[in-house]
């Protein structure tokens, strides 16, 4: 989608196009470090080149109108009303939730918002675990704050997006998605410690290889999935660990060595396995990042595979479709790393594949996956792009 096409869509929707500005926020893929973010651990995501665009113009009458080139639902609200989640607003609950947070932030600082029209267009497959929600949250946060003349630091917008998702949409997600979408950098992944928010950009130099995202096309409902259950299982585990290691604030603080000392105190086997995943996954992020920095791609790929196995056997968030993709991908000789990415329970897999084997990968994985699951997968050869920004 280019500037003039978006402006034309805006014109068709709202009947004018003076003062229209265009913003973009990407989707993300997490390379390793799954279900560690809400445990204060490490993650290693990267921003994609597909995402959500917002063509937006300011209004002076306190009214916000949200429309989408992808979905028929439209929503309208005013700064003076109490904004609430409404089932019938469908996708528009995301921008409404963000607006709600922006207004609260402005009130704290004696500032105000005065209305806007926004037309969204996105090309991230929805519900595929590539953060279409965080993408619309960040593009809204950036567009509305800029239109109102406020320069809010990106890290604030990232946290605000997460608050909107937690409090308005009601999904208890961690910070990874909004961070990756807001802070992404072309050709880099981000190594983030989610409790301290310390981060580092790491170049993704994979010459001769491609990152291939494969969509199971099995829909994944984050809100009504087992996501929140996993969170509370981890909290239960943490509470026990704290009795023996009182200095620990989150599972992300527990080293493998300390874990081995205390794990026998967790009697419930399920809780023990959940915590074991988080702690070993955290170690894997560190090893994988180091491998990538040293151009040791085979070892990076090995970490990816171990991550999937742990999510399958210990954390139990994969399921038949993701496991089938994992097995079929791993069989391809040129595929040196493969794992589920995102929350799990469906969604996408990400694989590290030799460039010359990509066609064979797509062909064989598609054939065998379809045979076993009766679903057709989609493939996206992934390019790593920038985080949220104004584009034209
Ligand atoms: C979803 C959540 C993230 C993170 C991942 C699992 O994408 O939004 O915060 O917890 O699942 O790693």
Question: Hey, whose CA ends up nearest to atom 1 of ligand 1?
Answer: 343
**Helices 320-331 & 297-313 angle (0-180, nearest 10):** 150
pLDDT, block means (10 residues), the chain with 392 residues: 88 96 97 98 98 97 97 96 96 98 93 96 91 97 97 98 95 95 98 98 97 91 74 97 97 97 98 98 98 98 98 96 98 98 94 98 98 98 97 84
The count of structural domains within the chain is 2
What 3-state class would DSSP assign to 260? Answer: helix
Contacts of 155 (CB under 8 A, 6+ apart): 182, 183, 197
Are residues 266 and 183 both part of a single domain?
Answer: no
Are residues 129 and 100 both part of a single domain?
Answer: yes
C-alpha 184/C-alpha 388 separation (Å) is 8
Residue 374 backbone phi and psi in degrees, to 5: 65, 20
Are residues 32 and 95 both part of a single domain?
Answer: yes
Catalytic-residue membership of 177 = yes
pLDDT value for 223: 43
Q: Which domain range does residue 78 map to?
A: 3-202+386-390
pLDDT value for 120: 98
Are residues 18 and 147 both part of a single domain?
Answer: yes
Which one of the listed residues 37, 177, 195, 323 is annotated catalytic? 177
Q: Are strands 21-30 and 389-390 parallel, antiparallel or unpaired?
A: antiparallel
Nearest to 275 by CA among 53, 60, 40, 90: 40
pLDDT value for 126: 82
Contacts of 281 (CB under 8 A, 6+ apart): 32, 33, 34, 35, 36, 41, 307, 310, 311
Are residues 185 and 234 both part of a single domain?
Answer: no
Are residues 29 and 72 both part of a single domain?
Answer: yes
pLDDT value for 171: 87
Are residues 343 and 365 both part of a single domain?
Answer: yes
- CB burial class (10 A; 0-12, 13-18, 19+) of residue 248? middle
- Per-residue tokens: 170: 């009601």
Whole-structure pTM value:
0.97
C-alpha 130/C-alpha 206 separation (Å) is 21
Are residues 191 and 222 both part of a single domain?
Answer: no
pLDDT value for 183: 98
Q: Residue 357 C-alpha to ligand 1 middle, in angstroms?
A: 30
C-alpha 388/C-alpha 366 separation (Å) is 32
- Per-residue tokens: 271: 């809780």
Are residues 213 and 198 both part of a single domain?
Answer: no
pLDDT value for 165: 95
**Substitution candidate for ligand 1 out of 31, 38, 251 with most atoms within 8 A of CB:** 38
In this structure, what CATH number is given to the domain that contains residue 281?
A: 3.30.70.890
Contacts of 25 (CB under 8 A, 6+ apart): 51, 52, 54, 134, 135, 136, 137, 138, 139, 142, 181, 182, 387, 388
Query: Which run of H or of E encompasses 105?
Result: helix 93-108
pLDDT in tens, 314-361: 999 999 999 999 999 999 999 999 999 999 999 999 999 999 999 999
In this structure, what CATH number is given to the domain that contains residue 34?
A: 3.30.230.10
Are residues 198 and 272 both part of a single domain?
Answer: no
Are residues 259 and 197 both part of a single domain?
Answer: no
Are residues 178 and 228 both part of a single domain?
Answer: no
- Atom number in ligand 1 closest to CA 30: 12
Ligand 1 pocket residues where CB is under 6 Å: 34-35, 37-38, 173-174, 176-177, 342-343
């Amino acid at each position: 989608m280019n500037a003039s096409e978006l402006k034309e869509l805006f014109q068709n929707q709202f009947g004018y196009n003076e003062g229209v500005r265009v913003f973009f926020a990407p989707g993300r893929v997490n390379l390793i470090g799954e279900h560690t973010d809400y445990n204060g651990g490490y993650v290693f995501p990267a921003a994609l080149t597909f995402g959500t665009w917002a063509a937006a113009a300011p209004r002076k009458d306190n009214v916000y109108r949200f429309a989408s080139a992808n979905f028929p639902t439209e929503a309208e609200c005013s700064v003076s009303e109490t904004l609430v989640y409404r089932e019938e607003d469908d996708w528009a609950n995301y921008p409404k939730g963000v607006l709600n947070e922006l207004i609260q932030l402005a009130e704290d600082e004696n500032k105000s918002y005065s209305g806007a029209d926004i037309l969204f267009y996105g090309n991230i497959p929805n519900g595929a675990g590539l953060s279409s929600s965080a993408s619309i949250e960040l593009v809204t946060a950036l567009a509305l704050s800029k239109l109102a003349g406020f320069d809010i630091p990106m890290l604030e917008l990232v946290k605000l997006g997460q608050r909107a998702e937690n409090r308005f949409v009601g999904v208890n997600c961690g910070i990874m998605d909004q961070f990756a979408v807001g802070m992404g950098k072309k050709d880099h992944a981000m190594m983030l410690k989610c409790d301290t928010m310390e981060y580092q950009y790491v170049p993704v130099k994979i010459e001769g290889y491609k990152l291939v995202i494969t969509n199971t096309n099995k829909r994944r409902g984050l809100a009504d999935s087992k996501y929140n259950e996993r969170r509370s299982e981890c909290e239960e585990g943490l509470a026990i660990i704290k009795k023996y290691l009182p200095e620990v604030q989150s599972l992300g603080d527990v080293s493998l060595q300390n874990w081995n000392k205390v794990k026998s105190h967790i009697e419930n086997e399920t809780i023990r396995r959940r915590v074991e995943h988080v702690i070993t996954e955290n170690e894997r992020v560190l090893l994988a990042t180091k491998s990538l920095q040293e151009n040791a791609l085979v070892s990076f790929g090995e970490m990816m595979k171990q991550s999937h196995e742990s999510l399958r056997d210990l954390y139990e968030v994969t399921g038949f479709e993701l496991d089938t993709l994992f097995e079929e991908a791993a069989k391809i000789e040129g595929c040196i790393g493969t794992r589920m990415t995102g929350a799990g329970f469906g969604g996408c897999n990400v694989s590290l594949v030799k460039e010359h084997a990509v066609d064979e990968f797509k062909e064989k994985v598609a054939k065998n996956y379809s045979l076993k699951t009766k679903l057709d997968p989609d493939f996206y050869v992934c390019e790593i792009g920038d985080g949220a920004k104004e584009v034209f």
